[in-house]
Structure 1
Amino acid sequence: MGLLQSFKDLAKSAAEHEADEIRAATSARVSMTEPLHDRAIGQVCGVVRSVTMPARANVPVLVAEVFDGSTSVNLVWIGRRRIPGIEPGALLSAQGRVAMKRGIPTIFNPPYALLPRS
């Protein structure tokens, strides 16, 4: 590592360092060569940033925001209030058809796998 790279690393914020770590951890597990497109099958691997239950009329919905180091994807499970293991900080991979909801890539009821953090 050169001196210039050391100065660049010192200038990075904590969020940028975290994104670099997540990108390194996820790129080794899933190769995401193409960006997620509307109505296409997509695969994502990343860290769960947040888990929410938006208020819906009599329908439970669980939303997990997954960050892969560069972009966020919402994973939505309809009919679920809680899924064991889906919590902030968990590393997971998921696959499914992508829908763009308010400009955010969203995958509904995806099959997923919880991954060990190394």
Structure 2
Amino acid sequence: MEILSSRTLLISRDPVALTAFYRDRLGLAIAREYPGGTVFHAGTSLIEIPAHMATSSDVDAGDVLWLQVRDVAATAEELGAAGVPIVAGPETKPWGLIEMTASDPDGRRLIVVEIPADHPLRRDVRE
């Protein structure tokens, strides 16, 4: 599987407070904001706090890895053939990314993402 980029998603019971911590206390630069989340620069990596994945107070969602690939359908076939558990097959999400979810031996979620050519992440939005 060829990985184009990756990030760690920090799932939180209070994503607003967690975002403020990384932005205001640690001083991380914002790579991008979107309705429901913030992505920070963290050296050569990215840290994302997805408010749309917030947990209830009695649930610990654990770590999540976000892995960008060229073709999520082909990757789903490749991973399935390798015996990797596919939790949710490829589908276009409301935010326009094509995503699937797999899991590692510890049950950690791996969100595998394809960014369509017409998605804002693929366009230069500078004026």
TM-score by length of 2: 0.27
TM-score by length of 1: 0.28
Q: Which has the larger radius of gyration?
A: 1
